[in-house]
Structure 1
C-alpha cells in the first residue's frame, strides 16, 4: 500500500484531528507536496507538517476542497473491502429505522465516504458521485453495492452542481442490471413513481419524509396548498391523511403529469389537483382570486446556493412566506422549509416573522423540522445539517 503524501502547513491539521474530513487547497504545503503532482481522484496519505500521517483520503488538485479524508491512520487501504464495510454499517442504520427498503442508503461524509450518495428504491439503487475521488472509485462502489444489497439494477445519476466544482461531466447511466418495471419510492403507505434517469436529484427527496409524517393533525378535513410540489410528496400524503382538497403546484410540466399519475395510482384523484405554474406568480394569482387555504406548504429548491446569493435569497424566502400567509384562512397552518445550507434556521424564522409583522399577523412555531435520520448529521461538518423548517400557526395580531 504505497500512496503519495499530501503534506499540510503547520497547524492546518487541527480541524482534521477534531473530526473534520476536508482539506482546503490553501492548507497544503505546496513546496513539499505540490498539488500539480497529483491527478484528480488519486488516493493519498494526508500528513501534518511534520509528515506524520493523519489518514488516507483522495485528492482533486483542481478543487477548493482539494482532499477528503476517508480513513484515519494508514492501517487500512482504500479498497473494495473498505467500501463493503462502510456500506454494511450504513445499511445497518437504515434497517433499524425502516421496515421497507426505501430510504437514503448512504449519505456522503456522515457515512464515511465523502462525495457519495445512494438512494434505495426497493430493488433499484440510484447513486451519485460528486467528487473526483468517488468518481474514480465508482466501479468498486457498484461492486460493493452488488455484494451487500444485491439489487436488480443500479443507476448513476451524476448531474449535480457539486460535480461542476470538481470539473466532472454530467451524465446518467445504468451501472449494472436492467430496469424492467417502474421505479417506486414508497412513503407513508403510498407509492410514488419516480424517474431515476431524468428526474431531479436521485429521483425522490427522502430527507423530508419524517417532516411529512408530522402533517396528520394539521390537514385532516382541511384545504391544502402544496407549492413546489415536485412529484406530490407533501400534497398526496396530506390527501391520504384526510385533507378535503389538495392543490399541488410545480413549474415543471413533467412533474405535474407525475403528480396526476401518482394521485390516480394511490386512489387520491378525487382530492388532488395539479397545476403547472411559477410559484410566485401562482401565489399572486390566488390572492387576486381571493382563494383561501387552511394549510400551505412551502418546500422550495435552494434560494441560496452560494454564499454570495445570501441577501437575494433571504429576501426570496421572506417574500414567498409573506405571500403564502396572505392566502391562509383564519387560524391557518404554514409549513415552511429551506434546503439552503447558507440559510440558517434562525434566519429562516426571521424571514417568516418579518413577513408576518408586515401583514400584522402573529406566528406560533409548533414544530421545528430537520432532515430525516437516514441523512445523519456529521457533528464536525456543519454542511451536512442543511435542511430546516417550521410548522407554524398564523393568527391575526
Structure 2
C-alpha cells in the first residue's frame, strides 16, 4: 500500500480525531496526488513518515482523502465494511424495536461517504465518495450478510457526487416498492420510494416531530415545507383540530393528504402547493393564524459562499412564520444546513420575535436523532438544528 504524506503540522486535526484530509495539506513532492487512482487505499503519514492510519484517496476532490482506519496498511474491504455495519446495526437495534431507521450515517458510523436508510426489508443507499463507490460489490455483499434486504435502491442522483467526479445515477436491486410505509410513534406514514426527496423519509427529525406533537391538541397547525407531512401528521394524530401543509411538490402533498386520512381521519386538512414564501405572505394577508407552526426548510446554505443569501432566507422564513402565529403560539424552526451555526438559527428566531415586539422563549432545543450519530471530533456531522419556542407579547 502506497503512502500519502502530509505537510509539516498538517497532522494536528487528524491526531485530534478528524477523518478528512484536504488537498492543500498533502506534501505533493513526497506523494503526488496525481499518482493515485480515485478510491485507492493508502497509508497516511505525517511529514516525518510516521503512520496515522489508512485512507481512501480521490485526487479529483478538495477532500482528497478520508480516514477509514487508525491502523496503517488497512484496506476498506468486505471484512471491514461488515464489521463497521455490524456495529451500526447493533446500535440501531438497541434504539428501535423495529427495522425503520438510518442504518449508516457516514462519518458518524466511521464509514465516510455512505448513507443507508432502512425501511423494513428495503434499503435506500447513497454513496458520495470514490472510495465507497469502488467498493460497491463488497458493500452489497456485507449488506446481504447482515440484513438480507429484498430490495436496494442506490439513490446516487445527488449533487454531492459531483464533488468527487462521480456520475449521478439511480440503480436498483430486487423489485422496488412503489412507496414505503414508515411506522413512527403511533403513526404510519406513506412516502415515495424512488421518486421522493433524498432517501424517501427524514428519520433525522423523528425526536423533534414527537416533541412538537405535545403542543398540538386542539390546535390549528401549519406545516411549512411539509414534504409528505411528517410534522403536520404527527400533530394531527396528537389531536390537532386542523393542519395546513405547504410544499412545492404536488406529489408530496398528495402523500400528506393520504397520511392525514390514515392517521387522523377527523382532522381537517388543507394542502397549498407552490412557493412557500409567496404562500406564507398570502396566508398572512388573508388573516390566517395558527397555534402551532413547523418551519423545516431545505438547506438554504449548500456551500459556504452562499452563507449570506442563505441566512437572509432563513431570517425571512422565520419572520413570516412568526407573523402567522396566534398569540402565545408555538414555533418549531429547523435548519439542516451544515454551514448555519446553531446560534445563527437561534438569532433568526430571536430577531423575528423582537422585530414584532414579541418575546420568544425556547422550550426545546434539538437536533438529529441518535440513528444519525455525530462524530465527536467532526462538528460537520452535527448538521440538524431545531428550536421549539413559544412566541408572545
Question: Normalising by the residue count of structure 2, what TM-score does the alignment of the two structures yield?
Answer: 0.97
CA 1:52–1:223: 2 relative to 1, 3 Å? same
* Secondary structure in structure 2 of the residue aligned to 1:248: strand
1:213 counterpart = 2:210: yes
Q: Identify the residue that residue 51 of structure 2 maps to in structure 1.
A: 53
Superposed, 1:154-303 pairs within 5 Å as: 154-174=152-172, 176-179=173-176, 182-268=179-265, 270-303=267-300
- What stretches of structure 2 of length at least 5 have no aligned partner? none
CA 1:234–1:369: 2 relative to 1, 3 Å? same
Q: Identify the residue that residue 27 of structure 2 maps to in structure 1.
A: 29
Greater mean alpha carbon deviation, residues 195-204 or residues 114-123: 195-204
Separation in 2, partners of 1:357, 1:181: 46
Question: Normalising by the residue count of structure 1, what TM-score does the alignment of the two structures yield?
Answer: 0.96
1:345 counterpart = 2:342: yes
CA 1:238–1:108: 2 relative to 1, 3 Å? same
Query: Matched residue pairs, number?
Result: 393
- Quote the offset at 1:269 in angstroms: 6.5
CA 1:168–1:269: 2 relative to 1, 3 Å? farther
Superposed, 1:87-102 pairs within 5 Å as: 87-102=85-100
Greater mean alpha carbon deviation, residues 257-266 or residues 314-323: 257-266
1:361 counterpart = 2:358: yes
- 1:204-250 superposed Cα distances (whole Å, 9 cap, x missing partner): 11000011111233111110000000011111111001101011110
Q: Identify the residue that residue 309 of structure 1 maps to in structure 2.
A: 306
On the 8 A contact 1:54/1:73 being kept in 2, the answer is: yes
On the 8 A contact 2:128/2:161 being kept in 1, the answer is: yes
- What stretches of structure 1 of length at least 5 have no aligned partner? none
- Quote the offset at 1:77 in angstroms: 3.2
On the 8 A contact 2:40/2:58 being kept in 1, the answer is: yes
Q: Identify the residue that residue 140 of structure 1 maps to in structure 2.
A: 138
- 1:291-322 superposed Cα distances (whole Å, 9 cap, x missing partner): 11101110000111111111111111111111
On the 8 A contact 2:247/2:253 being kept in 1, the answer is: yes
* Secondary structure in structure 2 of the residue aligned to 1:110: helix
- 1:347-397 superposed Cα distances (whole Å, 9 cap, x missing partner): 11111111111111111111101110101111111110011111010112x
On the 8 A contact 1:260/1:269 being kept in 2, the answer is: no
* Secondary structure in structure 2 of the residue aligned to 1:109: helix
Separation in 1, partners of 2:233, 2:239: 10
On the 8 A contact 2:99/2:119 being kept in 1, the answer is: yes
On the 8 A contact 1:173/1:197 being kept in 2, the answer is: no
* Secondary structure in structure 2 of the residue aligned to 1:219: coil
Separation in 1, partners of 2:191, 2:317: 27
On the 8 A contact 2:6/2:25 being kept in 1, the answer is: yes
